[in-house]
Structure 1
Amino acid sequence: MAVLVTGGAGYIGSHMVWELLDRDEEVVVVDNLSSGFEWAVAPEARLCRGDVADKGLICRIVEEHGVDAIIHFAGSVVVPESVARPLSYYENNTCRSRALIEAAVESGVKSFIFSSTAAVYAGGGAAPLDEEAVVAPQTPYGMSKLMVEQILRDVSVAHPLSFAALRYFNVAGADPKGRTGQSTAGATHLIKVVSEATLGKRSHVDIYGTDYDTPDGTGVRDFIHVSDLVGAHYLALQRLRAGGGNLVANCGYGHGYSVREVIASARKVSGREVPVREAPRRPGDLASVIADAGRARKELKWAPSFDDLDGIVETSLAWEDRLTRKNSAA
């Protein structure tokens, strides 16, 4: 058996590939390298450059490698960009995912794990969001992901395809072994931006909104270390293979940190100043988004190992430094 990882040359996908290889799984990656990097794919994995919507390609890979499960990360992820370019997000995230699911059904794949998002929820607040919270996405990004969740529900009724949709909160950090990390130029993830500013690769960090109803006026997010996240995916894979049935589950730690707290952590960990600039709120941003991940802990027996803001920031800074040296040597 093999696992097909879409978007496996990207940030979360590359970590997933290493997690699977560390557990002696055979891995095939499909990535068009529009935002990922060939060098980010572990050498033991097979990389096929192509489009996840190419049904012929997906069916051939499934047959040639005996793929029994697909873990789908490929897609567009910048929330403000989705507001400006909604058609692009519905095409890339929804339409291409539909085509991939069709290929999975036609080629007999039994298990499908989908990279969803907390952006499917109606709004945030001080209380953690569980999976029964109202879903009413405030942005095309969130809606494009929620539509795929619905496609998976409908398909699983009509065909022998079981799925897990994991709703991510704010993914951050890097592989503690230094094998991969967030490498995308111009990435908008807060801890990535703060890491770049800490090391002088950006002039400053923009704080978008300082008048939210939060303790220090800046947005609060539930930051989950990427290694804990891919660990949850592996547990979901095991569950599906064992016949555990469909699952929609949040992935977060159940508590949050503000933008200012993240910046303070970077200053503490690095011993350097982090320049900031206050800016207006961005469309689609919420005051606070925190996960209730009780379902993942119960159903997957998920026990996070990296729930520490300073530790998350430290791995992110270490990767950013490594990436700088890698690019300088190229």
Structure 2
Amino acid sequence: MSGHALPHYDAVVATCNRPEALRMSLPLLVSQTKPPQRLIVVDSSDDHQAVCDTVGQAVIGFNGQTEIIRSKRGLTYQRNVGLKHVQEAIVFFPDDDSLFYPDASEHILRAYHADKAETVGGVCAAEAVSMPGELEESYALSTSDKIKKKLIGAKRTLESWVAPDPFLTLGQELMRRRAAPAWLEAQNAVLVESMTGFRMTYRTEAIKKAQFPEAFVNYGLFEDTEASFSILQNYHLVGARNAQIYHHRFPGARGSGYYMGLAAALNRTYIIAKHAGPDSAARRDLYKYHRYTLARYVMTATDAFGRDRARGYREALKFTAALLAANEGGLDELYERIWNGSSEKAVAA
């Protein structure tokens, strides 16, 4: 498959204390059939030199440029730092544990290339069900992990009936604003409501204007959804089905239970308040979803983490109405005031 006519891209990878993830993911990224022009690694690790050494080994044979930037911690902040160094018209934002199939980037770029009218602001890959190539045998999922994956799908189907996800509701509303491009079927591509972080790419101009929400601290829960909805205000988002990326999900603490519960509720409410109009069904679904999620957290809280998560979620729900009522100019200020004033604020990831 020839990629000579395809646009170039840069790749920004934010990382923190996970050199073992980079050791696996970066060689796959830089050896793509259509590799990036620049690999920009934004690192907030305790041992920065270890990351530099790992990246240096991982990119041996890569003909593009490599930049390693030391940064303060925070996923959204790190992505915005990397974005400042992007020079190409397309930018990829893989997670540090995103495992690319050999031609994933080429299929993504084919969608951008087909978009002559530039109505598409972002393209995501499909989530692969297994690791690429030889990695599948070396890092095969355990039987319990495979069962968990299947159960997650079943749980989401059930939840869609009991408590519709307001993100899905809003994404579908935003999608319906514009007619679908005629070239989608030829590229085996579809319109999508949002893009998951580990497989998202954007037109650089569009994401530089939108930026990632730096108020979402540490892990930045739902930052990918917030960025997606910002882009959907003016563009399509597209899923390239032929592009495959596997999310390995390396283990690593993302914060305390209280932080995870607080962020899960506050960030979801913030996004709906920012992007859903007063008559949007997403606002109605938000209340139902919050009630369901809190009940699920309470019923499944079998350890200290679970109990703290439920407590953080319950704390955040006190501010739902205020966030939804905030005007556009005051939403960010109110969110930060609530976050900074909450007791037992985030334990850093």
Q: TM-score range by the shorter chain?
A: under 0.3
Which of 1 and 2 has greater Rg?
Answer: 2
**Length-normalised TM-score, structure 1:** 0.27
Higher helix share: 2
